[in-house]
Amino acid sequence: MTLPDDAAGPGRLPSKTLGSDCRWLTPDEDRALYGTGEALRLVLSDPDEFEAYRLAWSVVGDGVGPPPLAFWTLPSPLDSPSPVLWVPRVLLRRHAGRSTVTVSLRRGAAPVAETARLWMAEARALLAGRPQSDLPAIAALTSGCDVAGWTDRVRRTTEAIAAGRLAKAVLARRLSIRLTDTADPGVLADGLADLYPSCCSFSLPHGNGHVVAASPERLAVKRGAHVVSTALAGTARRHAGPEDDARAAADLLASPKERREHAIVADAIVEALAKVCDTVERPETPVIMRLRQVQHLWTPITGCLQPEVRFLDVVSRLHPTPAVLGWPRSAALDWLRAMEEVRDGLYTGVAGWIDRDGDGEAAMVLRSAYVEGRAAVLWAGAGIMAESDAARELAETDLKLSTLLNLFEAP
């Protein structure tokens, strides 16, 4: 059932204190999703399996509200890529100035009266929220790779590229943090949304903790037959002075290495979408995406999907892009496994939502932290090409890690 929440207009709903298990903020569409509880959970061996559940998904009520939806995650390509999908028992949605509450249950799972009591309790808890807590401080930092180890990995990778084994590989660094207090994932997600208002921000449960991210890269957004994917590769530092900042952007656009790295990603997305779209459109040249501390080369790619092509199938064809793995896909995957690269906390996986109509949104799990109690794990990666310099790539990962370290109080 979808119930308009007329009393909770945009000026009255406290977005910063909502007591939700899941939250998803899409600023450019003025969309916010807050979910709590779990009506249904699925582990899909194939994305098409969801279609039977979607078709069986019924709505009780007048049908004038937005369709119910499910959150989902897909692991890193270095893990077993089984999508996990769940329908929140209570969902609060804010979109285009309107708020709605949707409650869900699995038929036959429990008596309706018993579920209704859960609905009321969880809805009250979600709307009442919880006291605002301060951001925890950092007690200790442990890097998973020192400078010498990173330099060796980059050297071996550039040699493999020069030998023709692959064209690009994305190497990642892991940073473990011990905190002085328990981290509230909702507070962290809101902090990221404040720091990076142009990014898609989310907090979703994973394992015994939560993944929190402000992702600049949306892998796919589907509305009807229209689909959009973004190529994001090539990075430069932001500068306080406008002239220095503009010069860095111009150098990024003019860099042969950065442009080739970006083209690999854009070409792969176009190739994947061409298999499921009647038309695909791509600008001739990338533009600059400016974030708080970094700027990237960015190309939006749009397509008109062929009839009967489903959103999760589009995601599975796109993931992983060369921006998070390398290229060619199989060669890059083999190389990273040979390098014994392991990624956890859903880093370089995908997270998103899908509604009963089959529309949805998918974002790469980048600029992310996995938090569990007083521990957090941060990741950052860099695309390695034949001419990559280990020190410059290390500095790039430091920049990306700093976007997350800003969330926590200094020791």
List active site positions. Answer: 168, 217
Q: How far is 5 from 67, CA to CA, in rounded Å?
A: 15
Name every residue whose Cβ is closer than 8 Å to that of residue 83 and which is 6 or more positions away in sequence.
Answer: 43, 44, 47, 50, 72, 73, 74, 312
How far is residue 126 from each of residues 183, 345, 395, measured CA to CA in Å?
A: 19, 25, 41
Angstrom distance (rounded) from CA 13 to CA 2:
18
Give Cα separations from 114 to 89, 105, 109 (angstroms).
Answer: 13, 11, 10
Beta carbons within 10 angstroms of residue 115's beta carbon? 18
Q: How far apart are CA 203 and CA 182, in angstroms?
A: 16
| Separation CA 170–CA 161 (nearest Å) | 12
Helix (H, G, I), strand (E, B) or coil at 62: coil
**Coil, helix or strand for 211?**
strand
Q: How far is CA 146 from the centre of its chain?
A: 27
In sign, the C-alpha dihedral spanning 64, 34, 126, 44 is: positive
Give the residue from 158, 84, 96, 229 showing the smallest Cα distance to 385.
Answer: 158
